[in-house]
Amino acid sequence: MQNTFSILFYPKKNHTNKDGKTPIYMRITVNGRRSELSIQRKIDISSWNLKAGKVRGTTPEVRSLNRLMDVLKNKIYTIHQELIEKNIPITSKALKNSYLGIGEKEKMLIEIFTTHNNQMEKLVGKEYALNTLKRYKTTLKHIQYFLTNNLKINEIAIKRINHQFLTDFEFYLKSEKNCNHNSTMRYLKSLKKIIGIALANNWIDKDPFINYKTQSKETEREYLSKEELQTMINKELKIVRLAQVRDIFIFCCYTGLAYSDVQKLTDNNLVRGIDGEMWVKFNRTKTDTRSNIPLLPIPLQILEKYKEAHTLQENNKLLPVLSNQKMNAYIKEIADVCGIQKNLTFHLARHTFATTVTLSNGVPIESVSKMLGHKSLKTTQHYAKILDRKVSDDMFLLKEKLKKENKDTVIKVKAN
């Protein structure tokens, strides 16, 4: 029995959006049974030529859209021929699934991503920070929404991820999810890792991220000034929970530790350095790079303060670190009490160590980079740029002050 087979493009009127744009769908019919999918393009319904099955007009945009429909039609015809040659039963669903890359042996994006996240979850606290896992889970959720709402599918073959998919996904994150540029880039970098897994396993032949930039924009990082840091140290806090969080925050201001690292500190991380003084040595949770940090007097005093409580803890932790959410909430409360007009987060302590505590006091950037556990000096140089801007701002204020003080002063220059 010979199959009847046809391909039709049409605007789906009942999907017209509030701007009057109607999506174009491709309908595949085999023996009277239909399957359809969106081609991810929208038009004004009045421009559709029903008889020709194309868009009226001669503008470059119209020509490009009509060419796209021709390409898609030829692709379906090619798939139809391939199924015949493989002796696979021809159905509209089989043609659609083959076009979408959905097949028995195909590796699927959501499946790979879910497996990755499940494995990562088991390594949280060992090789990955909890926030890293959260970012990958959020990325997966965004991709699932994107597939469902924009592509009208629940899954997609990893081979179908191309430059256009990345462009559309980036636009979706920025326009529909209101993600800023840097957040969008972080989600794309998470997807890029999954693509890397697919490449390593030979599930795909080509990297869709080639020629695709995932560069974040440089942002201003907040930190405590010397005066603000001293204010927080000197502030008497009668509420125990606030005093503890303040102490741990100050400890990180003088060591550069991130939340994920300070919460894991035990006696095993305290060692005598080559100078005979106490050092903190550990592998950073985020990058797995080694950090060796000499302990200054203030963090030593904080460790001594909690020494008795530490010996009573079953987990052998050096400091009573709460959840990241609580630490961030309480540090904002402490900022209010101290009159610090900045949006404090716990991670700001690490920025303060890099700027106010070390670089501002002449510690070489190479040493700061090593203590922070940065893999690249370029990462640390961002803090040096912050200090350059502060120097510029300070000099501007000085210039304005001198202008006022010397407004009546005239310096006479004798001509040669």
Which residue in 45, 51, 52 sits closest to 24, CA to CA?
A: 45
CA distance 322 to 133: 19
The whole-number pLDDT of residue 409 equals 61
17 and 125 together in one domain: no
Residue that is written with structure tokens 């421009």 in the block: 47
Measured in degrees and rounded to the nearest 5, phi and psi for residue 39 equal -95, 10
Name the helix (H) or strand (E) containing 290: strand 290-294
Q: Is residue 404 part of a domain?
A: no
280 and 327 together in one domain: yes
231 and 281 together in one domain: yes
243 and 384 together in one domain: yes
92 and 168 together in one domain: no
3-state helix, strand, coil in the chain (%, to 5): 55, 15, 35
Measured in degrees and rounded to the nearest 5, phi and psi for residue 288 equal 60, 25
244 and 388 together in one domain: yes
292 and 244 together in one domain: yes
Q: Is residue 151 part of a domain?
A: yes
Q: What is the DSSP string of 183-213?
A: HHHHHHHHHHHHHHHHHHTTS-SS-TTTT--
CA distance 58 to 158: 36
Provide the residue-wise pLDDT of the chain in tens; the chain has 416 residues. 567 899 999 999 888 888 889 999 999 999 999 999 999 999 999 999 988 889 999 999 999 999 999 999 999 999 999 888 877 788 898 899 888 877 656 789 999 999 999 999 999 878 888 889 999 999 999 999 999 999 989 999 998 999 999 999 999 999 999 999 999 999 999 999 999 999 998 788 889 999 998 887 766 678 899 999 999 999 999 999 999 999 999 999 999 999 988 998 998 999 998 899 999 998 877 677 788 899 999 999 999 999 876 555 667 889 999 998 999 999 999 999 999 999 899 999 999 999 899 988 888 888 888 898 888 878 777 777 666 666 676 677 777 777 777 766 655 555 55
User: What contacts 384, CB < 8 A, 6 or more positions away?
Assistant: 359, 365
CA distance 263 to 124: 13
Measured in degrees and rounded to the nearest 5, phi and psi for residue 329 equal -65, -45
Cβ neighbours, 10 Å, residue 270:
15
CA distance 213 to 191: 13
Coil, helix or strand at residue 101: coil
The whole-number pLDDT of residue 104 equals 52
91 and 116 together in one domain: no
The whole-number pLDDT of residue 346 equals 93
Task: Please work out, in degrees rounded to the nearest 5, the angle formed at the alpha carbon of residue 284 by the alpha carbons of 282 and 290.
Answer: 55
CA distance 13 to 265: 61
288 and 243 together in one domain: yes
Name the domain count of the chain: 3
The whole-number pLDDT of residue 381 equals 79
257 and 298 together in one domain: yes
Q: Is residue 350 part of a domain?
A: yes
298 and 329 together in one domain: yes
β-bridge partners, 25: 10, 38
Coil, helix or strand at residue 163: helix
Q: CB–CB of 215/185 below 8 Å?
A: yes
Q: CB–CB of 95/30 below 8 Å?
A: yes
Distance of CA 1 to CAs 29, 31, 90, 372, Å? 16, 10, 12, 72
28 and 172 together in one domain: no
The whole-number pLDDT of residue 414 equals 58
User: How many residues belong to the chain?
Assistant: 416
Q: Which two tokens stand for residue 408?
A: 């009546």
Range of the domain at 15: 5-100
Q: Which two tokens stand for residue 150?
A: 């924009």
The whole-number pLDDT of residue 103 equals 60
